[in-house]
Structures are given as structure tokens and as C-alpha cells.
Amino acid sequence: MRLRIILLVLGASSLVLVSFLIPLALALRTLPAGRAVNSAIAYAQSHLGVTGSWLLLGGVSLAVLTLSVVIADRLARSLVRPLDGVAQAADRLAAGDLSARAELAGAPEVRRASAGLNRLARRIGELLAYEREMIADVSHRLRTPMTALRIDAESLRDQAERAQVLGDLDTLESTLDEVIRAARRPPRVGLVTCDAVAVVAERTAFWRPLAEDTDRSMTVELADGEVPVRVTSGDLGTCMDILLENVFAHTPDGSALTIRLSPRAAGGAWLVVADNGPGFGNTDPTERGSSTGGSTGLGLDIVRRVAEASGGTLTIGHSPSGGGSVTMGLGAATRPVDRTRSHRRSRRGQPVDSKEPTSYFWLEGE
């Protein structure tokens, strides 16, 4: 924009000079050498001659054009600098930095745009804070019915059944604690990462016994070495559980499934979960609340949000056998892999200890 303003002023100055010099040149060529248009031209012709007069006019023209460029540059700076500040603030907001504000400077129109952007940033922060408080409040309210369930579970006579139900309640309680902590935690934009290979290997090992019990061939293909992605291990594990649970819930026993994890060329990873089942229907399975299988319809929407928050995508398609296929693109990590693991329950209901039960995807622009 700055270069355009300079060129515009320079072009306007050139047109003014040309409109002045052409009539002057015609006058000098048509009038006798002894006559002049005015006293200044007569003085130049008498002392400098025609060539000297042209050189003098050329020098004056060059000086005027130079002055025009200087003025245009100052004008462009005064207009472009505030706009650059607004653009930088908008980029920071898009990256999740809700503290970004634009400076109120420049022309009145630019100041109004900056003020509007600042109001938008404050409103987004207020809405996200309200959303976090509501999630924490709802999670806290669930503790009362959970307490009642625990009392009922402890009254069960069958020891194995009681242990299983109490283990599930412990997992549910830890999940609620995680939601409350994540809701009250400030956003950590760009600071989340994990090794996708380790998480996918862990979750496929968790679900493999169920695949064996239902006569399903479960093929797992993982990349060699680490594949850092911009997702917490908890969020990626949740996505794996959702995708595999969908396969087990919506395909008949005996349907084979394949899990494939490979690195992306631009960084990050591709995670593909495909099956030999009936495939997806005509409705969009990623649409929130949309389901034809009797479920809530929220699972794939959660997966989509995690993928997009990491800078990736979610694609729904068909496997080579005609079944369903879900391809989850995960963004590249921006820091070394965080080797702390999230809280997970084993197949026997025993919790796995963790120091970071975190989930940040819904805090980053959602």
C-alpha cells in the first residue's frame, strides 16, 4: 500500500509537470528567439541560451518530483503504519492471543477499525471466560449424582461387579476433575504437543482385546520413530477412543479395521481409521448432534475440533472395501514432545498415573 501511494503521488506530480512543460515547450519553439513568454524566460534565454533554459527547467522538474516522492513517502507511512498495527493485532487474535490490542492511531477511519477490533477481542475473551465457567459449573453439579451412584455401587453384592462399577466411577470422576481444571486454566496457545506414535500405540493396545473378543482383524501400521503433533496426549487419546468406539458400535462383529499413522510432509501426522463395515450414511457424520446409529452424534464433532485446533483437518470417506474411513490430519508440533502421559484406564479398570491430565483444544479459538 505504501508503494502504491508513492506511485500515485509521483504520477500525479508528473502529470502536473507535463501539463506545464508541454505548452511551455511549444511557446519556446514558436516564438522568435528575441521574444519571451515572460521576464523569467527572457532572462534565461539571454543569459543561458535555449539549452541552458531546458536544463534549468529539467532541474526544477527533478526537484519537484523528488519533493513529491518525499511527501508521498511521509504520507504513506502515516497511513500504512496504523494499518500494519491493526493487521498484526488481528493475526495475534487469530492465533489465539486474546490479549492482542490495536493501537488507536492514524486516520479517523483507521482508528474506528482499531477500536472495533479491540471491542471484538474483549467480547471474544468474555464469551470464552463465560463458556469456561459454565463448563466448570456443569461438571461440578454432576458430582451429586455421581455420589449417589457410588453409594449404589458400594451396595452391590457381587465383588467383581462392584469393583468394575467403582473403577468406572473413578474414571468418570477423574475426567470431571480434568474438565474443571482445564476450564479454569488459561489458554496455552501453541504449547501443547505429544508423540502421536506412542499415543496411538497405547490406545490400540487398549482396544485390541475387544477386537479379539468380537472376531475382528485389527491391523495397526505406525510410523518409525517419534511423530510430534500439536495436540495433548489426552486429546489425541480421546480421539482414538471415539474413532475406535464408533467402529465397534456401528459395524457388525467380524468386521476388520485398520489404523494407520504416517507423518505429513509439512509436519504433523495423518491418522486413518478404516473398517469393512457398511460405511457412513448420507448425512454428515461430523455435524454436531447428527447421528443415524442411536448415539449422541458428538464424537466425530469432537475429533474435528481437535484436528482443526491443531492446524489440521478431518475427512470422512470410504475404505477400499466400501466401509467407513476417517482421516484425521494433525498439525506439526511447535515445541519438543511432552513426555508426561494423561490419566487412562486399563482394560481391567485400573487407572494409569499421570501428572498432566490436560485438554486445551477447546480453549484455542473454539
pLDDT averaged per 10 residues in sequence order, the chain, 366 residues: 56 59 54 48 53 65 70 70 84 81 83 90 86 74 81 86 87 76 59 86 94 93 92 89 91 93 92 90 57 60 89 90 92 71 44 40 38
All domains in the chain, ordered by first residue: 2-114 (no CATH), 189-363 (3.30.565.10)
**What pLDDT, on a 0 to 100 scale, did the predictor assign at position 188?**
53
**What pLDDT, on a 0 to 100 scale, did the predictor assign at position 82?**
79
Give 84's Cβ-side CA count (13 Å radius).
8
**What pLDDT, on a 0 to 100 scale, did the predictor assign at position 362?**
37
pTM (global) more than 0.95: no
CB distance 146 to 126 below 8 Å? no
Q: For residue 134, with 0-12 CB atoms within 10 Å meaning exposed, 13-18 middle and 19 or more buried, which class applies?
A: exposed
Beta pairing, strands 218-221 & 257-263: parallel
**What pLDDT, on a 0 to 100 scale, did the predictor assign at position 334?**
74
**What pLDDT, on a 0 to 100 scale, did the predictor assign at position 349?**
40
Closest-CA residue to 167 (of 150, 147, 152): 150
**What pLDDT, on a 0 to 100 scale, did the predictor assign at position 20?**
59
